[in-house]
Structure 1
């Protein structure tokens, strides 16, 4: 079969791709459904992804996500946490307080923290595309992004960009559950001459994003406890969340994920 690939395939890449697939399927005794990626309406993805195949000098280790002959365990649920410093420091806090990067969720729920401190809204789609090439579509994406753009962009432009990009994201991952984590208040808006105007823009964008995400079948994660009037929820810089602020943010995210998962 491998020799015939040189004749029937369009390119050397395609021949090598199928050759690798045939070899893995044969020596791993895999069924087609255990190897070929298939997305389901509930957001689960079955099949082999790049991270499921680990190669070392002595062995090739393959993780089978779903098997016809083993239905006892739940299928893996992969969740991407995407955003700026709020996501970064929340991940750090989760490790420090002992719940771990999985936030205490069941083992079959796998969280990936895709954050960059200072991340802007324009970086969202390129970051998602890059991750899709490595892992394939996740079961869910939690987005905490946009606060860093409130001062640099006018409200109308940012709102339009978020509205358009969320639609593009839905087209990229049609079976993935989308969660919009609402833009947070801050005690200090760096670079702003009128914090009151920034707060008005934040509310307008949250309102528009809520409409858009629900229109696309997603859900909103609200943070009513994180208020600029509660300085204990913020660090001394008035921007980043304190330990209690991180706890409140993580609590809201975990509660929404548990509700979605039916836990």
Structure 2
């Protein structure tokens, strides 16, 4: 049994006289629970499939033919023979590799990982070279999408079903959605599919923002609060704000789904030396931004008589250096000065 004291050294908290007592089994269960959260549901399903196939092939067929002893984890040479067996059965290299990756999960059960042996890795490389397969999947073009939409009324059971699939296919195509983001896993398992509360209609600009609550490329959900973005510069910034405000994107450029807001500050005729004082004045009434975008310097051209382009670069670096010291936690983005014909 393991006893935790009421207050652990170096940790905050009130002292508890009734110290909880945990057994090794309790701690192992909690560790397995935490490990289960480290992989996605689809990855877990892949691992389960790999283990089931390995057991079905090795324990029921392969090991009966060659081995009399069952043990876990399997030895590396057994995995090599397993790969060879699947190769004879015309399994694709990608399928075989996914099964081996599933067996790698044995490492999380505190056993030796035999899937990383040098011999097995070389056999998998040879398998890929011996059976090269080009990806024959074709991209979905706008013409193909149009053809699918025209055929839906003839193959769907009802107008509602036809409209449903039309919306799904069109949204996936133009929004670059994964199907798992639009379609539930089953009737009782919504998975990561968007829900009714995640879709709203904005009548003022005739748009439909869709909020994704899950990202396959950012499963740790790095959201720490609202992001503030400042865009400061000359008249181009002012005109850009006026255009964005009346466009379908809105003044926030549809960044609300990323929990971000944009604060536009454009001034006609602004010069490079006005940037730093402008930022200092804004900090008196606003919190420091997470991101500061600057587009300025065009009005500093043409330069004073006798000045060189290097002088403008030095002045620019000096301004950025002062801003870095003033805003140490802010990401500074410099927008290139637009070229001029005269």
TM-score normalised to the size of structure 2? 0.33
Higher RCO (CA-CA < 8 Å; seq separation 6+): 1
TM-score normalised to the size of structure 1? 0.42
